A and B are shown apart, each in its own frame.
Chain A
Amino acid sequence: MTKTVTDVICPFCGTLCDDVECVVSDDGKQLLEVYNACVIGTEKFLHSQAKDRVTRPRLRQDDGSWKEISYDEAVEYSAQMLAKAKKPMLFGWSSTNCEAQSVGNEIAEISKACCDNTAATCHGTTLIAVQDIGLPSCTLGEVKNRADRIIFWGCNPAHAHPRHMSRYSIFPRGFFTGKGQMSRKMIVVDPRPTDTAKMADVHLQVEQGRDYELLDALRVAFKGEWLPDVVAGVPAEKIREAADMMKSGRFGIIFFGMGVTQSLSKNHNIDAAIAVTKDLNEYTKFSIMPMRGHYNVTGSGEVFAWQFGFPFSVDLTRGFARYNPGDTSTIDLLIRGELDAMFTIGSDPGAHFPISAVKPIANMPSVCVDPHLTPTSGVSKLHVPVAFNGVEVGGNCYRMDNVPIDCRKVVEPPEGMLTDEQFLIKVRDRLKQLKGVA
């Protein structure tokens, strides 16, 4: 007999779909089928059942081979590494739960480390812009029930957040949006005619990297002032059409992604997008929201901000929290060669950092805590596999609209495997002994 676990939270992207159903074996040890999740979420759940999964920590030997070691030995290596390092980095945190993040912050304080999350390569520039001028936002529930003007700027939810449009933004029939997609207008701004753009009422095919100009042109168009014939590759009449469409809505939302955060101008693009939102509130109700990637990157920012006062790029080396992106941010620290130990958890900098920032990781004491084999585990000295968060262990996480949701445990992890939090608690306790902290 099998049993079905309902209302499961998907731990892939920041949409945190909460209607997934999983069929598990009667003893709760095997996950057999997944319903309602997107193709990426389904793969994430099912990969936990892979037969070739690594289930014990492995230490790289001098000849390059792996030697299987116990969790206690892995704890000892990690604690010794952090105790000896002058400037260690604790990086990642976005694919683990808030409970584990909080223990990680204790470790960071004891070892006087730098700590950072994957906002470093996704919405870090958004956080800088929010600190500059604020963020008029809302929840995804409000979007579903009220929004009739949806703008996707530099993001491609058809690929990156596959159920975002069906659950919240385009298709659902909400309280004031009873006709679903028929009651909504959709604008997409992207240098490519993406699969999301192909669905839009208006696609502004902006010249890559010139989003700031187009955002400013929209502000001009709202006021009906003069525009050049073409701005950022987009004809003026098309800009005016989009501007009128935005102004005529009852409730609008700008969702934005890596297209603006990672292009040149970076945080200034977001400054301009937030200014557009502010301007639109002269005519109607408008909000703006970053499309967060990792399922709990928002939670990591929340926990950092709650405990240290800053949402990413925190430096505790002086015994108190400092924050100065460019100085205290992981990629800059790695490239400048300022770090002497790397502890990675819940992320894969090996795959997602520029290669010049990965090379230093391979040449320093390094620990990678991850259930998967990744480029990061491939260059680290110690690989600690753990239970899959959101599949084999529950815990708190934050959706992209800052709504906290508790993940559910669906199946048991392989026998003897620790969770992120259990491993971190052991490292913290051993580190306290080494540092003589009560």
Chain B
Amino acid sequence: MANKITLNLISGRTIQQGVAIEGGKEKPLYRTAAGIIEMDHQDFKKLGAWKNSNVRVSSEFGSVIVKAIETTQGPHPGLGFIPMGPWANSVISDNTYSTGMPTFKGVPVTVEVALNEPILLGIELVQKQCGVKVG
């Protein structure tokens, strides 16, 4: 039976994400850099997943498929990190608490293995969620 774990999600910059946005957000490199969730080794064990598996990350605000990779800036058990971008923004909290600023950090999410589901490219992901007709 597939496991499901709960993590506290934060998003933020990585240098790979920075290079990818300047190199072209339509390119697969952007997905490689930002279509991921960085998880702690312990959380991989709890989830019962191989590193670099596709996973579904869900919150009360949405759901997205990303690749789960072992964190390079850890340990941080219980904390998930998705680099800033449309993948993170599919699940973060849009509540601004009257400051104008959404809550990009500190969103409870569930993570479950989704081996056969594809990770969309950045522009494709946003277009699909917005229902944009692409010719």
Contacts and interface: CB of A to CB of B under 8 A. Distances in A.
Interface of A: 12, 39-40, 43-44, 47, 50, 61, 63-66, 116, 120-121, 124-125, 128, 156, 158-160, 162, 191-195, 197, 208-209, 258-259, 261-264, 266-267, 293, 312-313, 325-327, 329-332, 335, 348, 350-359, 361-363, 372-375, 377-379
B89 interface: yes
Contact of A258 (B73, B105, B123): B105
Contact of A362 (B15, B24, B99, B132): B132
Contacts of A43: 18-19, 22-23
B66 to A, nearest CB: 14
B86 A375 contact: yes
Contacts of A262: 101-105
Contact of B18 (A40, A335, A348, A372): A40
Contact of B13 (A160, A332, A351, A372): A160
Given A121-B104, A259-B105, A374 B25 contact: yes
B118 interface: no
Contacts of A66: 135
Nearest to A356: B94
A357 B103 CA distance: 13
Contacts of A312: 100
Contact of B61 (A156, A197, A354): A354
B12 A156 contact: yes
A261 B101 contact: yes
A377 B99 CA distance: 27
Contacts of A266: 97, 99, 101
Interface of B: 8, 10, 12-15, 18-19, 21-26, 61-62, 71-76, 79, 81, 84-86, 89-90, 92-94, 96-106, 122-123, 125-127, 129-135
A263 B103 contact: yes
Contacts of B75: 193
18 contacts: A64-B134, A159-B13, A160-B13, A160-B18, A191-B10, A191-B76, A192-B79, A193-B73, A208-B105, A209-B106, A264-B106, A331-B94, A356-B94, A359-B130, A374-B25, A375-B122, A375-B126, A377-B123
A47 B132 contact: no
Given A191-B79, A372-B24, A352 B74 contact: no
A315 B101 CA distance: 17
B103 A359 contact: no
Contacts of B100: 116, 120, 124-125, 312-313, 325-326, 329-332
Contacts of A327: 98
Q: Which residue, of B25, B85, B134, has the highest number of chain A Cβ atoms within 10 A?
A: B25
The binding surface of chain B is classed by DSSP as loop
A12 B19 CA distance: 10
A379 B24 contact: no
Smallest CB-CB A-B distances: 10 pairs: A329-B100, A65-B135, A326-B98, A64-B135, A64-B133, A362-B130, A354-B94, A375-B126, A325-B100, A40-B18
Given A47-B22, A191-B76, 19 more contacts: A40-B15, A40-B22, A65-B135, A124-B101, A192-B76, A194-B73, A197-B73, A208-B79, A209-B105, A262-B104, A326-B97, A329-B100, A350-B123, A354-B61, A354-B92, A356-B61, A372-B24, A374-B25, A374-B123
Nearest to B30: A351
Contact of A192 (B81, B92, B103, B134): B81
Contact of A355 (B10, B18, B89, B103): B89
B24 A325 contact: no
A351 B86 contact: yes
Nearest to A361: B130
Given A12-B22, A40-B19, A373-B25, A351 B134 contact: no
A400 to B, nearest CB: 15
Contacts of A374: 25, 123
A162 B13 CA distance: 11
B19 to A, nearest CB: 5
Contacts of B86: 350-351, 355, 375
B85 A64 contact: no
A193 B73 CA distance: 6
A55 to B, nearest CB: 15
Contacts of B10: 191, 208
Contacts of B94: 331, 335, 354, 356-357
Given A352-B84, A354-B94, A47 B24 contact: yes
Given A192-B73, A379-B130, A331 B102 contact: yes
